[in-house]
Structure 1
């Protein structure tokens, strides 16, 4: 049996190498597609029409609203909290009544209407935008106000140990507040990364 020359042996490796490279490339593409699918499953974009519309109306990055909805209800429009908050963006009756005086004073809306996704996102978006404007577009401070109330945040802002400028918080003294702020800012960052969105001028932290 004739022996293969060194040149023949080298040429025999060429197609094998090409196949291995092609398989590696295909594996990489499949893994990337699978990872993207998992990430979008973990950070979904639901109720897009409402989110996009009200985000545009109130000048908010839609990714911020997705972060709030995911954190508050995980996109369940029928959820109630122990504190009596309702719907996608978990709005309490007191907050609902206050927002209604601002954006829907003549509309025949009741607290039960917060189970309606559009109504909830409409009211929640207004409140998020209000908090952002009040606290110099600082997402972390706005998130603290959304969760703990504007009064609680304003009280902390008056104390130098929590705020160096009296406008935004440097520290979040309450464990639940701190955890909530971390969830909102972290989710917003992940949404921006996954959907390759350019973050608006909202500042995440101080």
Structure 2
């Protein structure tokens, strides 16, 4: 097995260990600025060490503080069932595992049969038109839903040059709405509330995956996209 594959496979193991840990301990919240500081550090180091952006993978951009959002044990258990599907989609489309989880938790609380009043369906609440656009034939199939939703997130991240908050806003309101308002979060109440909720769950997943529940060696082997957004 290749080293990268071994590293990717840590996600499911670590997440399930977290579930066992959560039953015995009350999780402590990291500071609300942890997400921001980690991103700034990564970006600054990359700029100093590799000034040419053309040969390096683009870092995801997020410049505001994010406070982690509590994940219920029931949602965490449901989410854990799809760990392998999430990690595979993350690897294929270069989208952070935590961000995919954040969208799933906010959209459906990890319920694969969820259907919204406006017709969005499945774990990542795909609308029929979006599902068709990204090759999803059975929206309620978890594998297809995660694949389609992750492909859409990947597309949005590229369109908005790695800006996570704009990609998340686009996922909710559509990329056209973000562009209409000058590449800013649209002034829709739903979208204004949606973005911090998704990023809060994303930050919670950053903390979960990086928690020192297993050995420090395992934590150090986590792939880049499973350690930060």
TM range, smaller chain: 0.5 to 0.7
* 2:50 matches 1:36: no
Distance in 2 separating the partners of 1:34 and 1:181 = 29
- CA drift of 1:151 comes to 1.0
User: Higher Cα Rg: structure 1 or 2?
Assistant: 1
Indicate conservation of the 8 Å contact 1:39/1:194, yes or no. Answer: no
Match of 1:9 in 2: none
Indicate conservation of the 8 Å contact 1:40/1:194, yes or no. Answer: no
Change in CA separation of 1:48 and 1:173 when aligned onto 2, cut-off 3 Å: same
Match of 2:113 in 1: 78
Match of 2:100 in 1: 65
- CA drift of 1:39 comes to 5.7
SS of the equivalent of 2:120 reads coil
Distance in 2 separating the partners of 1:43 and 1:90 = 16
Distance in 1 separating the partners of 2:198 and 2:75 = 12
Number of residue pairs the alignment of both structures matches: 150
Match of 1:127 in 2: 152
Distance in 1 separating the partners of 2:22 and 2:168 = 35
Distance in 2 separating the partners of 1:90 and 1:151 = 19
Indicate conservation of the 8 Å contact 1:36/1:194, yes or no. Answer: no
Query: Cα deviations across residues 90-126 of structure 1 (Å, max 9, x unaligned)?
Result: 00111112112xxxxxxxx63xx11110010010100
* 2:221 matches 1:186: no
Matches within 5 A, 1:142-153: 142-153=167-178
| TM-score (normalised: structure 1) | 0.66
Change in CA separation of 1:128 and 1:62 when aligned onto 2, cut-off 3 Å: same
SS of the equivalent of 1:195 reads helix
Indicate conservation of the 8 Å contact 1:88/1:120, yes or no. Answer: yes
Change in CA separation of 1:83 and 1:191 when aligned onto 2, cut-off 3 Å: same
Match of 2:188 in 1: 174
Query: Superposition RMSD on alpha carbons, in Å?
Result: 2.5
Matches within 5 A, 1:104-123: 110=137, 113-123=138-148
Match of 2:219 in 1: none
Indicate conservation of the 8 Å contact 2:178/2:186, yes or no. Answer: no
